[in-house]
Amino acid sequence: MSIRKKITSKPWLPMLIWIIGIILVWEIAATIVSVTKRTPENVLPHLYQIFGQIFSTKAVSSGKTATMLVLDSASKTLFRAAIGFITGTVLGFVLALIMKISKLAEKTIFPYLMLIQMVPILGMAPIILSITGDINTSRIVIAAILTFYPVATNTLAGFNAVEREKYDLMYSYAASKYTIYKKVLIPYSIPYFFTGLKISAPMAITASILVDTLQGDGGLGSMLSQSLKHAMSIYVFWLIVFFSAFIGIFSSYFMGFLEKAVLPHKRKTKIKRKDDAV
């Protein structure tokens, strides 16, 4: 009895059941598809077929196996995603800072930040290319544009969440504006900043995959579209779908990990809160 209770109270159990459930649904659907469709691997292959490809030694393109191909192109994509993400983050933070310093700037810029999100940025790729003159720079610029918004809005929300009393305290110390930013505003906004990062990190990766398709010279996005054209094994496509989802989730958790490393006190308060609850 107690053993069963121990197992059922484990926090990972629901997750495990969920994953098993999804695998079940997938496999049932894949079984139906494999009977009804002529080319089931294009519609919904079995999971073991997809993951079998990881260990397959058959060369699918220029002497590379499917796994090598995916990892190879992933390194290009992730490199661009990382640079785009860092640029976007810096841009977002600076914009938030500018908007906090000047109310005038906030009122003028903020609606346009919203607007940039509505522009089909892929359509603007030729313009960005003609400005930067280099396809990889354009890719990074677009990835940065697609990712800065969550950072900017969340950080600004963090600045605005600072209570009146904190200002009053700083004023009573006759602190300079610079000191107020350094000692109060920026530290206070860091958790919000990380919330923004957690949203924008997976976005940077999907954005980077999207801009890979601008040109066919490698990267997950171009491999994705190439394998869709059936010129090489379609399983490369499925591998990339799973891989990109995994990396996206991982990146978000990685930001959470970074947050804990940077802000140990937050970790403590969280633990404390948990104790209170118990």
Partner 1 sequence: MSRKLKRKKSLWYRIHQNEKVQSAETVLLPLLFGFLFMIMWQTQKLHTLLHTDTFTLPLPSRILTIIADNSDKIMLNVNATVIVTLAGLVAGSLIGYGIAVLAALFPKWGSCGLKIIAAFNAIPIVALAPVMTNWTKDVSNHADIRSMVAKIMVVTIVCIANMSINAYRGLTELKPFSEDLMCSYAASKRVTLIKLRLPNSVPYIFTALKVAVPSSVISALVSEYFAEYIVGVGRQIRENIVLAQYSSAWAYIVVACLIGIIMYAVLMIAQSFMLKKRA
Partner 2 sequence: MKKNTGKLIGLLCVSVLTVSGLGGCGSKAPAPTEKAPEASSDAKTEQAAPKTNEDILVAAAQAGKVGNWGLGNEYEVKALLTKYGQDTSYLSQAFDMDGFDDDSITLASAMTYNELGLVKNDYDGGYGYGDSVNVIDMNDEGVAMLEDNIFTTKAFAEANPNTVKAFLYASIKGWEYAAQNPDEASKICFNYGSSVSEDHQKYMASEVKKLVETDMSGNAVSDIGNMDEAAMKQTLDLAKQYIKLDDSVAADKLSTLTLDDIRNTSYLTEALASDGKFDNLEKTDVSIQLKWLPQAQFMGYYVALEKGYYDEVGLNVTIVPGGGDISETTAVNNGTVDFGVTWVSNLIAANAGGMDLLEVAQIYQRSGLVLVYKNDNFK
Q: Where on the chain is the footprint of partner 1 (CB under 8 A)?
A: 14-15, 17-19, 22, 42-44, 104, 107-112, 114-115, 117-120, 122-127, 130-131, 171, 202, 205-206, 209-210, 213, 221, 224-225, 228, 237, 240-241, 244-249, 252
Verify binding: residue 16, partner 2, rule CB under 8 A: no
Q: Which does 22 bind (CB under 5 to 8 A by kind): partner 1, partner 2, none?
A: partner 1
- Label residue 143 exposed, middle or buried (CB < 10 Å: 0-12, 13-18, 19+): buried
Supply the minimum distance, in Å, between the C-beta of residue 182 and partner 2. 44
- The CA distances from residue 91 to 16, 146, 203, in Å, are 39, 11, 15
136 binds partner 2 (CB under 8 A): no
In whole angstroms, give the CA distance from residue 278 to residue 274. Answer: 6
Name the minimum Å distance from CB 84 to partner 1: 14
- Identify which of residues 231 and 249 has a Cβ nearer to partner 2 in the complex: 231
* Residue 135 in the binding site for partner 2 (CB under 8 A): yes
Least separation in angstroms between CB 118 and partner 1: 3
| Number of shown-chain residues binding partner 2 (CB under 8 A) | 48
Q: Which stretches within the chain are classed as H helix?
A: 2-8, 12-36, 40-43, 47-55, 66-101, 103-118, 125-132, 135-160, 164-172, 177-180, 186-212, 220-228, 235-262, 264-277
Q: Which of residues 197-216 bind partner 2 (CB under 8 A)?
A: 213-216
The correct pick among 130, 165, 274, 276 for binding partner 2 (CB under 8 A) is 130
Contact criterion met (CB below 8 Å) for 175 and 248: no
Sorted by sequence, the CB contacts under 8 Å of residue 188 that are 6+ apart come out as 158, 159, 161, 162, 166
Of the pair 63, 111, the CB lying nearest partner 1 is at: 111
Q: Binding partner of residue 27 among partner 1, partner 2, none, CB under 5 to 8 Å per kind?
A: partner 2
Which residues are CB-neighbours of 42 under 8 A, at least 6 positions away? Answer: 234
Residues 6+ apart with CB under 8 A from 193: 93, 151, 154, 155, 158
Instruction: Based on the shown chain and the rule CB under 8 A, indicate whether residue 9 belongs to the binding site for partner 2.
Output: no
In angstroms, what is the minimal distance from the CB of 25 to partner 2?
9
Amino acid residing at 275: D
Q: Pick from 15, 16, 22, 24: which binds partner 2 (CB under 8 A)?
A: 24
273 binds, among partner 2, partner 1, none (CB under 5 to 8 A by kind): none
Closest CA to 45 of 238, 265, 263, 245: 238
> Which residue in 232, 227, 220, 239 sits closest to 47, CA to CA?
239
Q: Which residues bind partner 2 (CB under 8 A)?
A: 4, 8, 17, 20, 24, 27-28, 30-31, 34-35, 37-40, 42, 46, 48-49, 59-63, 122, 125-126, 129-130, 133-135, 213-218, 222, 225-226, 228-234
